[in-house]
Amino acid sequence: MKPDVHLLHTELTFKTSRSGGSGGQNVNKVSTKVLLEFDVMNSKVLDEIQRDIIQEKLANKINSEGILQVVSQTERTQLKNKKIALEKFNLLITNCFLVRKERKATKVPKAVKEKRLNDKRIKSELKKWRQGRE
pLDDT-derived band at 91, boundaries 50, 70, 90: very high
Query: Is the pLDDT confidence value at 27 over 90?
Result: no
CB 46 within 8 A of CB 54: yes
Query: Is the pLDDT confidence value at 85 over 80?
Result: yes
Whether this model's pTM surpasses 0.85: no
Contact residues for 53 (Cβ-Cβ < 8 A; gap 6+): 96, 97
Query: Is the pLDDT confidence value at 116 over 90?
Result: yes
Q: What is the CATH number of the domain that holds 13?
A: 3.30.160.20
Number of structural domains found in the chain: 1
In-domain check, residue 35? yes
Mean pLDDT over 33-52 rounds to 90
Instruction: Report the half-sphere exposure of 122 (CA within 13 A, side-chain side).
Output: 6
Mean pLDDT over 104-121 rounds to 95
In-domain check, residue 56? yes
Percentage of the chain surpassing pLDDT 90?
A: 42
User: How is the beta sheet containing 12-17 ordered, strand by strand?
Assistant: 12-17, 33-39, 67-72
